[in-house]
Each structure stands twice: as C-alpha cells, then as structure tokens.
Amino acid sequence: MRVIIIGAGVVGYTIAKKFSSEGQDVVVIEKDEKRIKELKESLDVRIVEGSGSSPQILIEAGIEQAEMVIAVTNSDEVNMIASLIAETQSRVPKKIARIRNPDYLNYTRIFERDYLDLDFIINPEKVAAERIVKIIEIPGAVDVMDFMDGRLKLVGGKLTAQSAIVGKKARELGRFFPSENIIIVAVYRGNQTIIPQGSTVLEEGDLVFSLTHPEEAMKLLKLFGNGGNEKAVSRPMIIGGGEVGFFVAEHLEKAGHQVKLIEKNEARCAKLVEKLDKTIVIAGDGTDRELLKEENVKDVDTFIAVTNDEEANILTALLAKRLGARRCIALIDKPEYLSMVSTIGIDVAVSPRLASVGDILQFIRKGKILSVKTLMEERVEAIETVAMETSDIVDTPLKDIKFPQGAIVGAVVKDDQVMLPNGHTVIKPGDKVVIFALRKTIPQVEKVLMVKPEFF
C-alpha cells in the first residue's frame, strides 16, 4: 500500500515510521530542508521536498497510486488544500487530515463527501484534552484508556510502598481484589517493559497497567497504594488557555469544580472569560512563583500545565509540586522528555502527538481489528479484535496456546459479557479479545490470530 504523509512533524514522523516498519511504501512530503536531512538519516521512506499544497509536488509523490493521504502539517489550510487536491487528482481511497481550528471543526459541511471528502479528522489538542479529563477522574492514575466501547478501562498506576501487592506474584492478585476483576497486562520498571506472566513478581515503583471494570478503577488504584480517600478533583488549576486548556476547563466546570485558569495573553483571557462562566481566569505567567503562591497553589489537588511550550510545562509542574500541589499533569510531546517524566517527579504526562497517532492507527486498522492503542511510548500495542474461526487462538484453553512471550490476552467479550480471562478460558470464534503485546512480538501475535487456510 502506498501512503503519502504530508508534513513530517512529530505526528507525521511517528506515523511514517510505523507504516514503514510494517512494510508499507511511504512517501513523505516535507518542505523544511533541515528536517528532511533528519528524516533521511532515520526513516526508510521516500522523501519529496516541497509544499503539500502544491499539485505538482503531490503528483511527484505519486498521488495517483496512493491509497491513503495523511495531511498533518501545522497548517489547517495546507492540510485541507492537500486533501482537496488528492480528491480531484485521483480520488484517493482514504484521506485523513489534521484540523485544529474550531472555526473549521464547527462547520463540518466542508468535510463531507461532496467537498473535501475526509475520512477522518484528527485534532490532537482535543484528543489530548479528552485524555487529561479521563485521567483526572481517577486519582492516582498515570494513564487511563477505554476498551470495548468503554466497558473496560485500562488504568496505569504506580505501586507505592503502602500497596499490598508489592512483592506478590501476578497470579496471586485475585486474592487481594475481591471481585477478581483485575488483570495486569503490562509493567514498566525503570527502562524495562514487561508483559507479565503468572510468576512475575511486582516491585515497589513499578508502573502497572491493569484492565478492570470502570466502576472498580478507583479501588484498583487504592490497591496500588494511591489515591487514599480523597475526592477525585475539587480544586484544579490549569496553566495555559489554549485549545487544550479551554477544553479541560470547560469540562471540569461542567462537572462542578472550581477551576482556576492562568493564561499569559490578555486578549486570549478576554475570550476565555466570554466562554467560561464559573472559571476564574487569571492573566499572568504560570512560571511566576509569586503568582502561583498568591493563587494558593498549595491547596490545588490537580495542577494541569498545558501551554504550547513543553519545557515551560515541565518546569511549571515541578514548581507547583514543590509549592504543594498534589498531582501534576503536563503536556509533553518530545519523546526524549516523555521517557524521563516519572524520574523527575511529574505524575502524568499527556502527549497530543502519541494520542493522535493512536487515533489514526485505530482508524486505519478498522475492519477485523477493532482498535489499536499504544502505551508506554509505543512500546506496547493493545489490539482489539474478533477471534476468527480456524485461527490458532480459538477452542483451546489459553494456557495451551503457543502465544509468544511478551504478549497477553487481556480481556474477552462473549455474547456482550465482558470477562477477564485466566489460563482455563477458552475463546470461541466470534468472541472479541483485547491483546497486549510488545511491539516486536506483533508479527507472531498476528500469526496466532490469522485464519489458517483450509483445504476442501
């Protein structure tokens, strides 16, 4: 399959890398010469220099044979024009574009069939904001994701010294959780990613990802030694009134919290006040220590740093933490920073880039595979799929299936009944399953899921 990716920013780069490693033919259009040099050094793709909104460049990139065009430059306008040209040039089967300006997003007619005919629109800011909102609701959680249309939640949390399960083996967990609705699917220890087996011993400081029913998420985190008895959120503070900040504030305000929002740009503040009724909008610099003190940061339970400047987000979050804020969430995109988040003491990092990459992948893989999500900086993939007849996975107890090490079945849905499996579970054709796997084992996992050819 030929995929054309327009704009090799962080999102474009990650998708290009992913596709190329999966064996697709990727053509990247990028106009920055310096960036092109970096790409050449690190990606096995064809690179065309130029603007994605130029018909000539798109033809050079082979748009006529393209099966998918993904326009993810920083400019909504370029992305739209590129999609339009793709549409007129050759009616490319699938078109995905990044559109962030709410003005466009609210006027959806142009995305419809007769006009741009976009198959999927991504808005990283909105995706990130939704992610933040989800995480805020569960105190102590580092990451939260929905599976099976929200019937299951994947919750990531740190094991603290108070946790009862430190030093215990993964298979013993049922004893500690009365309903037994818990299955650990991934553990992040130091720099190591582990897909646990029954005998894996949990240690203090592990970042543990577990599937559970939504109503039991809070209990789960308590088991990890987090959260205590306090209410989820009560006094949140947001730094940065951009799209993300606004969306989060709006949501929290609706949920009845007293939100404080600090934004540098006064004109933007005026706009925010217009749209947000109960939120206290403060014009000022989030990195200003005195301002934070003045606004009583020590009583803040959730501190959310979501400005456009990720370095500032990290520093502000750390400053707030030192001044007494209990939990801090920062918007970070650079992979280099993401990997050291927990070491420097930031509780939660949310990356618009990774979030939107996940969304794009999920859209692309629609079909037999229901969804794909990535966690831990993409080292683990969660695949939601339907078990096929005659594939290796069905009609055999899980413990007898030759599943690659580094992959685990996290959940099974039988006749609309969600269950968390154990070794004796037998998957039937038509069941939905969620599989968690280290990236390098994905080809093996696909083999297990594959339908065997039948001869007469």
Partner 1 sequence: MRLRVVLQVIGAINMILAMAMIAPLLVSLLYSEGDTKAFLLSFIITAVTGVILYLVFRTSGLEVGHREGFVIVAAAWLSTSFFSSLPYIFSGTFPTFVDAIFEATSGITTTGASVLTEIEELPHGILFWRSMTHWLGGIGIVLFGVAILPLLGIGGMQLYKAEASGIAGDKFVPRIKDMAKILVKVYLFLSFVMMVLLIISGMGIFEAFIHAVGSISTGGFSNRNLSIAGYNSVLIEWLIIIFMTVGATSFALHYDFYRKGFRAYRENEEFRFYILVLVAATLLVAINLRIFHYSGIGESLRHSAFQVVSITTTTGYSSADFAKWPAFSQLVLMTLMFVGGSAGSTTGAIKCVRVLVLLKFIYKEMYRLIHPHAVTPVKLNGKVLSPEVLKGVVGFTLLFLFVFVISSFLLAATGLDPVTSISSTAASLGNIGPALGTTGPMSNFAAIPSFAKWVLILDMILGRLEIYTLLILFVPAFWKG
Which of the stretches 18-26, 204-212, 273-281, 359-367 binds partner 1 when contact is defined by CB under 8 A? 18-26
Which residues, 319 to 348, sit near partner 1 by CB under 8 A? none
Please select the residue that binds partner 1; options are 10, 11, 15, 26, rule is CB under 8 A.
Answer: 26
45 is an interface residue for partner 1 by CB under 8 A: yes
Amino acid at 346: I
213 is an interface residue for partner 1 by CB under 8 A: no
Binding mask 395-434 for partner 1 (x = CB under 8 A): ----------------------------------------
In contact, 162 and 228? CB cutoff 8 Å: no
Which of the stretches 26-34, 144-152, 162-170, 301-309 binds partner 1 when contact is defined by CB under 8 A? 26-34
- For partner 1, the closer CB: 36 or 315: 36
Which of the stretches 6-14, 22-30, 81-89, 365-373 binds partner 1 when contact is defined by CB under 8 A? 22-30
Q: How far is 55 from 84, CA to CA, in rounded Å?
A: 10
- For partner 1, the closer CB: 27 or 281: 27
Residues in the interface with partner 1 (CB under 8 A) total: 16
Which of the stretches 34-42, 106-114, 165-173, 394-402 binds partner 1 when contact is defined by CB under 8 A? 34-42
* Number of CB atoms found within 10 A of residue 10's CB: 19
Which residues, 104 to 133, sit near partner 1 by CB under 8 A? none
Location of structure tokens 């080809």: 443
46 is an interface residue for partner 1 by CB under 8 A: yes
43 is an interface residue for partner 1 by CB under 8 A: yes
Please select the residue that binds partner 1; options are 2, 257, 264, 327, rule is CB under 8 A.
Answer: 2
27 is an interface residue for partner 1 by CB under 8 A: yes
- For partner 1, the closer CB: 71 or 152: 71
440 is an interface residue for partner 1 by CB under 8 A: yes
Least separation, in Å, of the C-beta of 409 and partner 1?
A: 23
193 is an interface residue for partner 1 by CB under 8 A: no
Which of the stretches 36-44, 171-179, 296-304, 335-343 binds partner 1 when contact is defined by CB under 8 A? 36-44
Binding mask 230-269 for partner 1 (x = CB under 8 A): ----------------------------------------
Planar angle of CA 292, 297, 302, nearest 5 degrees: 125
35 is an interface residue for partner 1 by CB under 8 A: no
- For partner 1, the closer CB: 44 or 230: 44
447 is an interface residue for partner 1 by CB under 8 A: no
Which of the stretches 24-32, 198-206, 217-225, 368-376 binds partner 1 when contact is defined by CB under 8 A? 24-32
- For partner 1, the closer CB: 32 or 389: 32
Q: List CB contacts of 47: < 8 A, sequence separation 6 or more.
A: 8, 27, 28, 29, 30, 36, 39, 40
- For partner 1, the closer CB: 47 or 82: 47
**What's the 3-state SS for the chain?**
CEEEEECCCHHHHHHHHHHHHCCCEEEEEECCHHHHHHHHHHCCCEEEECCCCCHHHHHHCCHHHCCEEEECCCCHHHHHHHHHHHHHHHCCCEEEEECCCHHHHCCHHHHCCCCCCCCEEECHHHHHHHHHHHHHHCCCEEEEEEECCCCEEEEEEECCCCCCCCCCEHHHHHHHCCCCCCEEEEEEECCEEECCCCCCECCCCCEEEEEECHHHHHHHHHHCCCCCCCCCCCCEEEECCCHHHHHHHHHHHHCCCCCEEEECCHHHHHHHHHHCCCCEEEECCCCCHHHHHHCCHHHCCEEEECCCCHHHHHHHHHHHHHHCCCEEEEECCCHHHHCCHHHHCCCEEECHHHHHHHHHHHHHCCCCEEEEEEECCCCEEEEEEECCCCECCCCCEHHHCCCCCCEEEEEEEECCEEECCCCCCECCCCCEEEEEEEHHHHHHHHHHHCECCCCC
Least separation, in Å, of the C-beta of 144 and partner 1?
A: 32
Least separation, in Å, of the C-beta of 185 and partner 1?
A: 23
Please select the residue that binds partner 1; options are 42, 101, 197, 396, rule is CB under 8 A.
Answer: 42
Q: What residues line the site for partner 1 (CB under 8 A)?
A: 2, 20-21, 25-27, 33, 40-47, 440
